[in-house]
């Protein structure tokens, strides 16, 4: 499915299908967090919602100053997203202690770690589903009682050659460049594409319907209204067929898009829009584009 020539993704090579699709696509899932009761409320009032996909677990928190988001015996790296320029946290892991102010993506190493909240606001943590305790907390855990057969088995990417440390990537420092697609950052388990804020509705004549053969996409809305357009490919069994979906979500919200669903998202209205696409493990096609992954020197490609 071709992209518009103005879309940087038109530079990607179109790989033939690997033939992984083994049955009906799982249904897309949508979570508008303010419409849902939180799964956890901490001592100072931080509210957290847990949602999972086949390979990824996301914890969305409306954090209050004074609370600490702690992980004991974390099995692998995870990411922390700080959406607001007013964010302020202290991250501790091993011998590292790092104060982070402003909008940023943070990579946190395995083991014991803490995110101490020093200013109220959104804190988003993104884990692989190797964190079994978080998987059990997810409100949609029952969806994956049987694994999605269309999703490739999760395999982490190599550890950073310089060793595990807290790594901070301030978003305000990343300026747009022609031909580069968003702001892509990765670690050994997760990749995020943190799009730039825009304040206009998407041109309906320049959409980007596409699918992924064997990996999921999580689209995290931080600001703005969107419609997520979904089309389930047909199988030989008509019982698997679904009507097209055109699902409206107000932010903050999360949409889980299973393969091989054809999808595209449309921002609406003149308002601030902020979207983050999430993949676990990182995408090789994005990683092989020169200059697209902004921290590629920190994390090598698998051999």
Check whether 18 has a pLDDT greater than 50.
no
Give the total number of structural domains in the chain: 1
- What confidence tier does 13 reach under pLDDT thresholds 50, 70, 90? low
CA angle 14, 6, 248 (to 5 degrees): 85
In what helix (H) or strand (E) does residue 58 lie, and over which residues does it extend?
strand 56-63
Residue 135 within a domain: yes
Report the greatest alpha carbon distance in the chain. 57
Residue 153 within a domain: yes
Q: What is the DSSP string of 179-227?
A: T--S-EEE-SS-EEEEPPPB-SPPPTTS---B--SS--EEEEEEESEEE
- What confidence tier does 9 reach under pLDDT thresholds 50, 70, 90? confident
In what helix (H) or strand (E) does residue 80 lie, and over which residues does it extend?
strand 78-82
CA distances from 103 to 137, 251, 297 (A): 27, 18, 22
Domain residue limits at 245: 8-12+19-287
Tens digits of residue pLDDT in 33-91: 999 999 999 999 999 999 999 999 999 999 999 999 999 999 999 999 999 999 999 99
Report the distance separating Cα 116 and Cα 92, nearest Å: 8
Q: What is the CATH number of the domain that holds 136?
A: 2.60.120.10
Residue 41 within a domain: yes
Residue-level pLDDT at 112:
98
Residue-level pLDDT at 37:
98
Tens digits of residue pLDDT in 91-117: 999 999 999 999 999 999 999 999 999
Residue 296 within a domain: no
Residue 292 within a domain: no
Tens digits of residue pLDDT in 25-34: 999 999 999 9
Residue 127 within a domain: yes
In this structure, what token pair is assigned to residue 118? 């020093």
Task: Say what the pTM is.
Answer: 0.94
- What confidence tier does 16 reach under pLDDT thresholds 50, 70, 90? very low
Check whether 214 has a pLDDT greater than 90.
yes
Q: What is the mean pLDDT of residues 262-285?
A: 98
Residue 159 within a domain: yes
Side-chain-side CA neighbours of residue 148 (13 Å): 30
Check whether 216 has a pLDDT greater than 80.
yes
Residue 232 within a domain: yes
Q: Sheet with 274-279: list strands edge to edge.
A: 29-32, 253-257, 217-223, 274-279, 191-194, 184-186
Place of tokens 């700080």: 82
């Amino acid at each position: 499915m071709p992209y518009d020539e103005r879309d940087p993704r038109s530079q990607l090579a179109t790989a033939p299908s690997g033939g992984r699709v083994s049955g009906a696509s799982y249904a897309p899932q949508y979570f508008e967090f303010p419409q849902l009761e939180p799964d956890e409320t901490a001592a100072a009032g931080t509210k957290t919602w847990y949602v999972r996909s086949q390979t990824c677990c996301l914890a969305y928190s409306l954090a209050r100053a004074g609370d600490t988001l702690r992980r004991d015996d974390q099995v692998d790296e995870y990411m922390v997203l700080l959406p607001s320029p007013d964010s302020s946290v202290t991250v501790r892991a091993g011998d590292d202690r790092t104060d982070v102010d402003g909008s940023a993506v943070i990579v946190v190493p395995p083991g014991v770690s803490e995110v101490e909240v020093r200013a109220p606001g959104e804190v988003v943590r993104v884990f692989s589903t190797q964190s079994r305790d978080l998987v059990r907390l997810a409100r949609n855990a029952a969806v994956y009682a049987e694994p999605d057969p269309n999703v490739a088995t999760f395999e982490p990417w190599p550890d950073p050659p310089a060793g595990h440390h807290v790594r901070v990537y301030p978003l305000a420092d990343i300026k747009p460049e022609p031909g580069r697609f968003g702001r892509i950052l990765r670690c050994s388990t997760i990749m995020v594409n943190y799009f730039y804020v825009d304040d206009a509705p998407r041109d309906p004549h320049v959409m980007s319907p596409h699918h992924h053969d064997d990996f999921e996409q999580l689209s995290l809305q931080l600001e703005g209204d969107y419609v997520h357009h979904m089309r389930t490919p047909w199988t030989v069994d008509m019982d698997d067929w679904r009507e097209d979906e055109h699902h409206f979500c107000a932010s903050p919200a999360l949409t889980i898009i299973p393969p091989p669903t054809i999808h595209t998202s449309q921002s609406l209205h003149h308002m601030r829009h902020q979207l983050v696409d999430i993949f676990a493990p990182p995408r090789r096609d994005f990683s092989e584009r020169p200059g697209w992954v902004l921290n590629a020197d920190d994390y090598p490609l698998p051999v």
